[in-house]
Chains A and B, each alone.
Chain A
Amino acid sequence: MARQLLKGNEAVVKGALLAGCRAFYGYPITPATEILEAAAWYFPRCGGEFLQAESEVAAIHMVYGAAASGQRAMTASSGPGISLMSEALSYLAGAELPCVIVDLMRAGPGLGNISPEQSDYWQVTRNGGHGSYRSLVLAPASVQEMADLTRLAFDLADRYRNPVFVLADGTIGQMMEPVEFREPAREPVMPEWAVGGTAATRKNLVSSIFLKPDDLELHIAKLEAKYALAEREVRFERYRTDDADVVLVGYGIVARILKHAVDELRAEGIATGLLRPITLVPFPSAELRRMAATVREFVVVEMSTGQMVDDVRLAVDGAAKVSFYGRGGGNLPGAEEVKAMVEGRVRKEGLVHA
């Protein structure tokens, strides 16, 4: 199939429908509204359900209902909306319901502004909702990945019967790049555990209640075992890291900027590389640990005051230096700015192997 120039926000919707998603429930919020609008256009055409809910709370509980009914279901929002959805995220995980949530991060806290940030990292990778559960989190860095990772998100959601986030920022939603939908459209399949209003599904119950402490402890252990198994889904991209003294770490749009900075730093003779986590949960901790044996310093760059950097520190566990550079408020770090920052650190810390 030929390439098509698409906005990230539209690629999500097309990718979802091709992945067999037939239920979209959402509420408008910049910069995710275009996903809602594209869904309003495409879902009904493709035999799917689309509804603009009265709030993000209602929207995500509708997703809960659709998932309980065996549909591949999704919603999309941004920080303030994700905050409201936190309640249901916990219920979805507790009831082991698969679904996909797209979070196009904007700048916070509070109403903040609608420009891009990456400051929902904690909220999304640390659950937001109550109780012992995790959401799996994928972080696209291109429009092609908005489509591909949305599809993967549905597969992972079904495989682990768990909510999966596609965590991007406003920039990736707004930008256009060529996209190719390589995989064929998938027919929706109703899982056997779902409720259906039929004799065969009458026995099915969707619930997150385990009244007896022993039963709940067992249930939590089962969820934990699932998350441990999901570690095998870890994905990351390495760029020029083999002989790198300094490794930049960033995800999403920031990783694209860092790639540019890596080339520029290499041109100055500084052996720099890039590690881009594609899955944030599971996090590429093992890879970071492995790299820490030869890397002098990991420089984590985020559009926040430093959130993912915690996970890098936990992974590296003191085996190499970890430093942080962040921009916020809706400002993107420029490649030149990153380059100057790294050069400064190299001068100060003497990071480069002689």
Chain B
Amino acid sequence: MPEKELCITHEKPLAFFPHFERKGEGEDQTHYCPGCGHGIVHKLLAETIDELGIQDRTILISPVGCSVFAYYYFDTGNVQAAHGRAPAVATAVKRAHPNSIVISYQGDGDLAAIGAAEILHCANRNENVTVLFVNNTIYGMTGGQMAPTSLPGQKTTTSPGGRDPGRDGYPMRVSELLATLESPAFIERASLGNVKTILQAKKAIRRAIECQMEGKGFSMVELLSPCPTIWKLDPVAAQKRVHDEMERYFEPGIKCDRRASRPEPREAAPPPPLADFSRLLNLPDDNGRTAPAHAHDAERLDWRIRIAGFGGQGVLLLGQLLAEAAMDDGLEVSWLPSYGPEMRSGTSNCHVRISSHPIDSPLVTRANALLALNEPSLRKFLDTVEPGGLVLYNGDHLPDDCRRDNVSVYALPFAEIANQLGSAKVGNMVMLGAFLALSHFLPDERMEAALARLVSSERWVEIDKKALAVGRERVPAEEFRHA
């Protein structure tokens, strides 16, 4: 080897620690085997970091594999990740610190097998990070098991007869695979097969990191890499295998380069001041919503209401309006919808509690009011109404085989009444109006304020108000006295 190259070989890049203190024993040598591709890639990366002047900005994500201890060597920010998850970790690190240079360093088992989903989606989101993918066709750290990249016929401890594509599939050409995605900005495969290709590999790494520095998005360099120890070859023969066998299956070259067509990154907007958070989070201001000096204190008010009907009849909204208006009136409230498969089957119900005292259980298992918008709901819940309770039913009368003596029943064709108002959809509001008239604990203006908040269209607010008024008129207001 000419003297000059030797000299370069012994100069330590600044991006490496002068002594590998994190490693402990043998502080001046890496833990990599002689002739290992990881050692070469480390050196290329460290030199590139130096040349680009990005040591302070760099955050290296080390994987699980022989390079798990990359943080022993790189005097940069370091995060160690779980097996295969480095692209997910890198994603969040970069998004937290957009100005940093994030390098996800991974082996082929790590990236192509256990972390296949993470790399695919990281590339597809065009995350602005750089992945260095060391492909040595083997699981090095665990002692030589088959990798997704092991070549056909390659003997490993888990393919002792050689990789059989018929059984194990063909080796994965990950760079080509990822390059079929429309998103990633830059993907290149380089080889550590000889001095010349190693120099090309360094250029590829530089291109990839520059891609990130320019904000163009995802970049990856796959590095065909020797593992003399597991391959049971001396370093020279191992390098020859990279050149002769690996390069034949995994063709080096740029697989996609969309840097030129990518727009310049946009400057991120500064975060909003905390003073804006109330507005941004839609938190209520106190204007007009402060609860009144409590008008209900004297009486012990305790409504346990079950509201039920078909999906689309406005069951949940009815309940929510009640809870919202009652809360504004200084009462304690809870609203609990049935959720899950029941919703799919087209029925819907909710539990509403309104009380002058703190609410224990939000569940209404024994109701003192049932608002049934259809017959199945009436049949299902009528028996849960306690004696003296109130039942509103959307129909002329209760079915003959579904009756109760000791409850007050108001059966009216609420939906039809609504239809006459112009929309059967507001049958729920007609029923709500009737309930408000019968229960007479909520001032009208509370309900109107709640309506204005929950219903976004002004047209509908007007129709709803009309429906409420009609509902109120249709029941004898003073008749019902809650037991």
- CA distance in complex: A95, B62 (Å): 14
- CA distance in complex: A170, B361 (Å): 15
B85 in the interface, Cβ–Cβ < 8 Å?
A: yes
Q: Which residues of B contact A316 (CB under 8 A)?
A: none
Q: Mark A185-225, 1 if CB is under 8 A from B, else 0.
A: 11100000001111101101111110110000000000000
Shortest Cβ distance from residue A173 to the other chain B in the assembled complex, whole angstroms: 9
Q: Verify B283–A4 contact, CB threshold 8 A.
A: yes
Shortest Cβ distance from residue B20 to the other chain A in the assembled complex, whole angstroms: 13
Q: Verify B85–A199 contact, CB threshold 8 A.
A: no
- CA distance in complex: A5, B71 (Å): 49
A125 in the interface, Cβ–Cβ < 8 Å?
A: no
The SS class assigned to the A binding surface is: mixed
Q: Which of B255-284 contact A (CB under 8 A)?
A: 269-272, 274, 277-278, 280-281, 283-284
Closest to A239 in B: B360
Q: Verify B340–A64 contact, CB threshold 8 A.
A: no
Q: Which of B80-119 contact A (CB under 8 A)?
A: 80-82, 85, 88-93, 95-97, 99-102, 117-118
Closest to B68 in A: A209
- CA distance in complex: A311, B19 (Å): 50
Q: Which residues of B contact A58 (CB under 8 A)?
A: 85, 88, 117-118, 121
A257 in the interface, Cβ–Cβ < 8 Å?
A: yes
Contact of A65 among B93, B281, B284 (CB under 8 A): B93
Q: Which residues of B contact A330 (CB under 8 A)?
A: 340
Contact of A61 among B76, B88, B99, B280 (CB under 8 A): B88
Q: Which residues of A contact B95 (CB under 8 A)?
A: 23, 49, 51, 66
- CA distance in complex: A58, B2 (Å): 48
Q: Verify B79–A206 contact, CB threshold 8 A.
A: yes
A131 in the interface, Cβ–Cβ < 8 Å?
A: no
Q: Which residues of B contact A310 (CB under 8 A)?
A: none
Q: Which residues of A contact B120 (CB under 8 A)?
A: 54
B334 in the interface, Cβ–Cβ < 8 Å?
A: yes
- CA distance in complex: A57, B114 (Å): 11
Q: Verify A175–B336 contact, CB threshold 8 A.
A: yes
Q: Verify A185–B274 contact, CB threshold 8 A.
A: yes
Q: Which residues of B contact A88 (CB under 8 A)?
A: 82, 85
Q: Verify B57–A197 contact, CB threshold 8 A.
A: yes
Q: Which of B310-359 contact A (CB under 8 A)?
A: 320, 323-324, 327, 332-337, 339-341, 359
Q: Which residues of A contact B290 (CB under 8 A)?
A: 2
Q: Verify A196–B89 contact, CB threshold 8 A.
A: no
- CA distance in complex: A77, B231 (Å): 44
The SS class assigned to the B binding surface is: mixed
Question: What count of chain A residues pass the 8 Å CB interface test?
Answer: 81
Q: Which residues of A contact B320 (CB under 8 A)?
A: 5, 176
Would A45 and B78 be within 8 Å (CB), given that A23-B96, A65-B88, A65-B91 are in contact?
Answer: no
Contact of A205 among B71, B85, B102, B269 (CB under 8 A): B71
Q: Verify B77–A263 contact, CB threshold 8 A.
A: no
- CA distance in complex: A23, B98 (Å): 14
Would A334 and B274 be within 8 Å (CB), given that A2-B290, A175-B334 are in contact?
Answer: no
A124 in the interface, Cβ–Cβ < 8 Å?
A: no
Q: Which residues of B contact A57 (CB under 8 A)?
A: 85, 88, 117-118
Contact of A199 among B56, B102, B125 (CB under 8 A): B56
Stretch from B238-246, B362-370, B432-440 that touches the partner: B362-370
Q: Which residues of A contact B341 (CB under 8 A)?
A: 113-115
- CA distance in complex: A266, B299 (Å): 22
Q: Which of B277, B291, B332 has the most CB of A within 10 A?
A: B277
Q: Verify A197–B117 contact, CB threshold 8 A.
A: no
Q: Verify A18–B335 contact, CB threshold 8 A.
A: no
Q: Which residues of B contact A212 (CB under 8 A)?
A: 24
B75 in the interface, Cβ–Cβ < 8 Å?
A: yes
A126 in the interface, Cβ–Cβ < 8 Å?
A: no
Would A3 and B76 be within 8 Å (CB), given that A17-B277, A45-B272 are in contact?
Answer: no
A71 in the interface, Cβ–Cβ < 8 Å?
A: yes
Q: Which of A1-50 contact B (CB under 8 A)?
A: 1-5, 14, 17-18, 22-23, 25, 30-31, 42, 45-47, 49
Q: Which residues of A contact B149 (CB under 8 A)?
A: none
Closest to A143 in B: B334
Would A174 and B332 be within 8 Å (CB), given that A23-B92, A46-B277, A62-B91 are in contact?
Answer: no
B289 in the interface, Cβ–Cβ < 8 Å?
A: yes
Q: Which residues of A contact B396 (CB under 8 A)?
A: none
Would A197 and B99 be within 8 Å (CB), given that A1-B286, A65-B90, A176-B334 are in contact?
Answer: yes
- CA distance in complex: A231, B285 (Å): 38
Q: Verify A196–B97 contact, CB threshold 8 A.
A: yes
Would A53 and B88 be within 8 Å (CB), given that A113-B340, A197-B99, A256-B362 are in contact?
Answer: yes
Shortest Cβ distance from residue A16 to the other chain B in the assembled complex, whole angstroms: 10
A259 in the interface, Cβ–Cβ < 8 Å?
A: yes
Contact of B277 among A171, A185, A253, A259 (CB under 8 A): A185
- CA distance in complex: A70, B71 (Å): 19
Shortest Cβ distance from residue B229 to the other chain A in the assembled complex, whole angstroms: 19
A73 in the interface, Cβ–Cβ < 8 Å?
A: yes
Contact of A176 among B118, B272, B323, B361 (CB under 8 A): B323
B482 in the interface, Cβ–Cβ < 8 Å?
A: no
Q: Verify A2–B289 contact, CB threshold 8 A.
A: yes
B175 in the interface, Cβ–Cβ < 8 Å?
A: no
Q: Verify B85–A61 contact, CB threshold 8 A.
A: yes
Would A198 and B286 be within 8 Å (CB), given that A69-B97, A204-B78 are in contact?
Answer: no
Q: Which of A295-331 contact B (CB under 8 A)?
A: 330
B377 in the interface, Cβ–Cβ < 8 Å?
A: no
Q: Which residues of B contact A2 (CB under 8 A)?
A: 284-286, 289-290
- CA distance in complex: A204, B76 (Å): 8
A283 in the interface, Cβ–Cβ < 8 Å?
A: no
Q: Verify A178–B332 contact, CB threshold 8 A.
A: yes
Shortest Cβ distance from residue A223 to the other chain B in the assembled complex, whole angstroms: 17
Contact of A335 among B90, B102, B333, B365 (CB under 8 A): B365
Q: Which of B285-320 contact A (CB under 8 A)?
A: 285-286, 289-291, 320
Kindly list the 3 A-B residue pairs having the minimum CB-CB distance in the complex, ordered from nearest. A197-B100, A47-B271, A65-B92
Q: List 16 A-B contacts (CB under 8 A).
A: A1-B286, A3-B289, A31-B340, A51-B95, A57-B117, A58-B118, A91-B81, A171-B362, A174-B339, A177-B334, A195-B59, A197-B77, A202-B55, A205-B22, A208-B80, A256-B359
